[in-house]
Structure 1
Amino acid sequence: MTSPPGGGPAHRPDQRTLVCARCGATARATPLTWTYSVEDGVRRHFCASCSRENIRAIEGRLDSDRW
């Protein structure tokens, strides 16, 4: 099993509940459609709907070598 970028495990079968940092939606484990960012050292998760609605703002924070 290989690790994804960032060094985390490739598969985490944890059953924690995630909460969207914008709308409060919840999900068990980490759905593939959710995104996250690290802000002030804290990981913040965003549901698929909030991610789609704010994709331009999300992409605007990426270094140019990432796009």
Structure 2
Amino acid sequence: MSSRGTSPPESGDDGSAADPQPLVCDRCGTSAGTLADDGPPLTWTHSVENGARRYFCETCSRENLRSIEGRLDSDWW
């Protein structure tokens, strides 16, 4: 029997994701003060556009509420 694909990586890489990144608004760049892995604050919104998850701060969400409800991509705001 072959053990191909069952042995650990030789480079020491355990296959885990890169270091956690701080969560920032995709529109204005405001920091959420949390890590992306922890999720956004309750007042933030998020959308999935072209397969990518995007987060928006409370201010940008409020200013663009009609566009968000109309499901327009953030590029159109």
TM range (shorter): 0.5 to 0.7
Determine what percentage of the aligned residue pairs are the same residue.
65
The structure with the largest alpha-carbon Rg is 2
Aligned ranges for residues 1-20 of structure 1 at < 5 Å?
Answer: 16-20=21-25
Counterpart of 2:6 in structure 1 is none
Which consecutive residues of structure 2, in runs of 5 or more, have no partner in the other structure?
1-19, 73-77
Tell me whether 1:54 sits opposite 2:59 in the alignment: no
Residue ranges of structure 1 left out of the alignment (5+ in a row): 1-14, 63-67
- Report deviation, 1:17: 1.7
Q: Deviations over 1:5-59 (max 9, x none)?
A: xxxxxxxxxx752110100001114200000000010000000000000000000
Question: Number of residues paired by the alignment?
Answer: 48
Does 1:32 pair with 2:42? yes
* TM-score, length basis structure 2: 0.57
